[in-house]
Amino acid sequence: MGFGVRQFELTLMHRMRDLNAERVEDALMDMGASRAELRAAHTQWTKMAHSVRTRKGLAALRTMLGPPPYEGTTPVGSLTCRVARWALPSWPDLEFEVLLGPDGAIWNQWFVRPHGDKALAFVDLVPWGCVVGDVVRSFPGAAQGEGSAPQHWVVDFAHEGTDYRARFVYGLFQRLDRA
């Protein structure tokens, strides 16, 4: 079985199930995919990640997703890093971004808004509707942090006197908890 855009999306959703299983179930129905297909994509991804014969990093993503529609650079501290982005059908308003270090290794991979972060109201915090940058931009004093599993992030912020923790997987908002 080949590994393309559909399988890649399912692999991302497999990790998203950690925090928002209901939303993933809805997406599977929309895609006409089964839980078995989701598990199979994740299994294949894991095998490829540990195989010595499979391409790694940006080369692997190019093989699966095709050439990135956007490639550029971005400053990270005193370094200039390469960036590549792909649009994915399940998230049409966002792009999947890969940040590459000077040696070409993937330093980060997550969803971003292609034309810059969007200002949100509290009611706009809808699962799969925003990214880390949107929340950081929208709530003064928001602080990013690592989540409890690989590819998980959190953003802590206050709204109307209450502290919240927004939880993300691959930079995509999954759920909001009171801190």
Give 105-132 pLDDT, tens digit per residue.
899 999 999 988 899 999 999 999 999 9
Tokens linked to 178: 């009171």
Does 1 score more than 70 pLDDT? no
Q: pLDDT tens digits, residue range 79-109?
A: 899 999 999 999 999 999 999 988 888 999 9
Following DSSP, what letter does each residue of 108-171 receive, concatenated?
A: EEEEE-TT------GGG--TTS-BHHHHHHHSTT-EEEE-SSTTEEEEEEEETTEEEEEEEETT
What distance in Å separates the CA atoms of residue 147 and residue 83, rounded to the nearest whole number? 23
* pTM of the full structure: 0.92
Domain ranges of the chain: 1-54, 56-116, 122-178
**Stronger pLDDT, 53 or 145, i.e. the higher one:** 145
Q: Are 125 and 134 in contact (CB under 8 A)?
A: no
> Thinking of the domain 56-116, which architecture would CATH place it in?
2-Layer Sandwich (3.30)
Q: Are the CB atoms for 21 and 174 separated by under 8 Å?
A: no
Q: What 3-state DSSP class applies to 86?
A: strand
Establish how many alpha carbons lie within 13 A of residue 57's alpha carbon, considering only the half-sphere containing its beta carbon. 12
Q: Is the dihedral of CA 2, 99, 150, 90 positive or negative?
A: negative
- For the chain, what is the mean pLDDT? 93
